[in-house]
Structure 1
Amino acid sequence: MIYRKANIDDIEKLVELRKNQLVDEGIEPNIDIDTDLSVFFKNKLSDGTLIQWLVEDNEEIIACGAVIFYEFPPSYTNKTGKKAYFANMYTNKNYRGQGIATKLLTKLVDEVKNSGISKIWLGASKMGRPVYKKFGFIETDEFLELNFI
């Protein structure tokens, strides 16, 4: 398996992966979001506020995960206000249970640490929640968080 960062040439694949993830989470595909997703990925990949990792097996993308960087007003619990949000975590059902999501999480956490941000948050599906908790994320009122300072 090959782990690599996505680039602009991967946008069409990123759109399909995102839609697969949403359907997998039980969200009905009742509107066309292809253009909106394409614009989102183009803008965020171009300005560096999104880093998306892909996992390929025999030239097929079988998993992905992303970190999106946000700036919030500084607070007493986060002096810089900068946070990283994990999104687009998806593994093809034929590849689940092989540690791929955990390896992706490690790569994404390394991206965040290298950026100097110390607070990660995410919204987890029921299926993903155990993976994140095992990794060290803790539940808050609405999200799961990981702090490493």
Structure 2
Amino acid sequence: MNYRKANWEDINKMVELRKKQLIDEGIEPTVDIDKELYDFFQNKLSDGSLIQWLVEEEEEIIATGAIIIYEFPPSYTNKSGRKAYITNMYTREAYRGQGLATRLLTKLVDEAKHLEITNMWLGASKLGRPVYKRFGFQETNEWLELNL
């Protein structure tokens, strides 16, 4: 398996994976969101606020995970003001249970630490919640959070 960061050439594949993820989470595809997803990935990759990792096997993307970097006003508990939101965590069904999500989370945490980000958060699906909790994320009223 090959782990690598996503680039411009991956945007169409990222759009398809995101749609597959939403459907697997039980969300019905009632509208066409291809253009919106394409624009989102293009904009976020361009401004550097999206770091997305891909896992490939035989040139097929089998898993993915990303962080979106947000800037908030600096505080005493977060001097930089930056936080990372974990999103697009998805593993194709045939590859689940092999630790891919945990390895992707490790890469995303390493990215955040390199950027001196001290807080990460996410909204977890029922399927993903146990993975994040084992990794060390703590539940809050609305999110799961990890202080680095």
- 1:73 correspondence with 2:90: no
- What is the aligned partner in structure 2 of residue 28 from structure 1? 28
Shift of 1:78: 2.3
Secondary structure of the structure 1 residue equivalent to 2:39: helix
CA distance in 1, matches of 2:97, 2:24: 16
Output the amino acid matched with 1:66.
A
Output the amino acid matched with 2:20.
N
- 1:13 correspondence with 2:5: no
CA distance in 1, matches of 2:43, 2:71: 16
Give TM-score scaled by structure 2 length: 0.97
CA distance in 1, matches of 2:32, 2:9: 21
- What is the aligned partner in structure 2 of residue 130 from structure 1? 130
Output the amino acid matched with 1:134.
R
CA distance in 1, matches of 2:78, 2:124: 22
Report the count of equivalent residues: 148
Where does the alignment leave 5 or more consecutive residues of structure 1 unmatched?
none
CA distance in 2, matches of 1:95, 1:112: 26
Deviations 1:48-91 (A, max 9, x none): 00000000011110000001000112334323321000000000
CA distance in 1, matches of 2:59, 2:9: 14
Give TM-score scaled by structure 1 length: 0.97
Output the amino acid matched with 1:24.
D
